[in-house]
Chains A and B, each alone.
Chain A
Amino acid sequence: METPDSNSVSAPPPPFDVERIRADFPILGRLVHGFPLAYLDNAATSQKPYSVIQAVDAYYREINANVHRGAHELSIRTTQAYEDSRAVVAEHIGAVSADEVIFLRGTTEAINLVAWTWGAAHVAEGDEILLTKMEHHSNLVPWQILAGRAGATVRYVDVAPDGTLVMEDYDRLLSDRTRLVGVTHVSNTLGVVNPVAEIARKAHEAGAVCLVDGAQAAPHMRIDVQALGCDFYAFSGHKMLAPTGIGALWGRRELLDMMPPWQGGGEMISEVRLEGFTAAPVPYKFEAGTPNIAGAVGFAEAIRYLQRIGLEEVHAWEADLTAYALDSLGAVDGIEIFGPREKRVGVISFRYADIHAHDLATILDQKGVAIRAGHHCNQPLMEHLGVDATARASIYLYNTRSEIDALVDALGLAAHLFGVA
């Protein structure tokens, strides 16, 4: 395109065209109960673009075989596709090498791997694991299991009324007994973005390692594990346009090398004798059994899709939409929104008058508006907030202002049914 009076050398990036993006997602064209789908449950899982669906489809149609096994053409090409996918993920998050990326089912499995391997080797009686009160059950229960087996103690950093971490409490609880600090990058209930770089730096000063749960962050922002300074970063593909059942653990090579293997089986060994085995090098040491090859291929394509649009552009669109949603919901009498106004993503938990979140979700669904209701695998945080459930609307790159309007409009129906003035 020509710009007559421009003397800049590079063209500006294409403007963020949400309608063009929406056209990439076949499911967004469907109706739900006769209404256009307004999918606002992206913190649970995202929808998938054609390019991801087609990448998985093409993998099965054209090259399907097992990895690292055969000398035949399909196996060679499958192995290449799988390892290329690992390289895409590694490059995307700033890993030093692809070997630092382990393909797993998702964030939950990634955290469990660290708890069962690094944890078993480094956490002993009297040691402490430091988490926060806003962790998802996935970054809570694995450590409680480890602490129970090792005789260690789990401590929790407090959450302020506005939903941010109380950093003074972190400073107070961090000690030379702390072996690991586990923190979520973005809260799956409050949307708050935590100061992970500062948390990791302080953890290292105290001699602890730092694991970051990136499930709710990686879909929405550029992740650079070197800048964050953490030691482990766990995230899921399905929340960032990839298929379900694929995710990744990034870890520092020197830590991964020293960790014992986890599940035993094929793929994770170097040599097996009746007297015992030697483990394969990373990442294969942690990938027993035939992996989710098609999932990995889809994961890489999802990342390429996000890169083509640009995560900065995605972030800017979502920031604008989040502000609009906070304003729109905030203008409804009787709405209480949890979490801060700034330093957050578009995961918006709220209550409305005395209408329970499950009732809201049922009513909104009848108008085609999909939200989540409940404790969001965040029961300790719910207790801390003094609620038993919240409604949660969570946005992604393909959401629009008119979908936020549909949400607010459907809240009007809930008010009508419940006789809320």
Chain B
Amino acid sequence: MTGHGNEGLELSSLQDLYQQVILDHYRRPRNRGPLVGATHTLTLNNPLCGDVIDLMLRLEGDRIAEVHFEGKGCSISQASASMMSGVLTGSTIQEALQVMATFTRMLHGDMDAAADTDLGDLRALAGVSKFPVRVKCALLAWNCLGELVGPDTTHS
């Protein structure tokens, strides 16, 4: 195999997509596993690719006390869920939905959203916006969140 040190644009986009922090969340997912005392759980998959996220929340009033997940799939889908669990733990539902809105805007290429420090580690996923078919991977865990606690939820 040849070296891959300097191969132009495709490499820089890919390096943005696969930052170390994303690979770290993929390989050492945070808050992965069962959640004792979960108040809200939902499993969603991307039927075309087979990625699965099982999101578990423990709510105390309108505050998200704990976020856990199980799942299988690509680095983007799993890292997004892991990062989400860290960012949302301790936030209110309203704050969580605000983060979700900002994160979604970032994935669709909004540079201001990508600069929002409320996103924490999630900002590392900004590179997904260059790969439109992978946006659904990054959103899978968030679709669970939206269905569980979003304004149109049927899961309360």
Contact = CB atoms under 8 A, between A and B. Distances in A.
Interface stretch (A182-190, A198-206, A404-412): A404-412
Given A356-B73, A359-B76, A413-B11, A374 B1 contact: no
B36 interface: no
Given A356-B75, A418-B23, A419-B23, A362 B17 contact: yes
Contacts of B17: 362
Contacts, number: 70
A355 B76 CA distance: 11
A415 B27 CA distance: 15
A362 B1 contact: no
A392 to B, nearest CB: 13
B14 A366 contact: yes
A356 B50 contact: no
A413 B14 contact: yes
Contacts of B15: 417
B14 A379 contact: no
Interface stretch (B2-10, B59-67, B86-94): B2-10
Chain A contact patch, size range: 20 to 34
A33 interface: yes
B98 interface: no
Interface in B29-59: 48-52
A388 B73 contact: yes
A382 interface: yes
Given A356-B73, A418-B23, A389 B49 contact: yes
A417 B2 contact: no
A379 B10 contact: no
A367 B2 contact: no
B54 to A, nearest CB: 13
Interface in A338-394: 354-359, 362-363, 366-367, 373-375, 379, 382, 388-389
Interface of A: 33-35, 354-359, 362-363, 366-367, 373-375, 379, 382, 388-389, 408-409, 411-413, 415-419
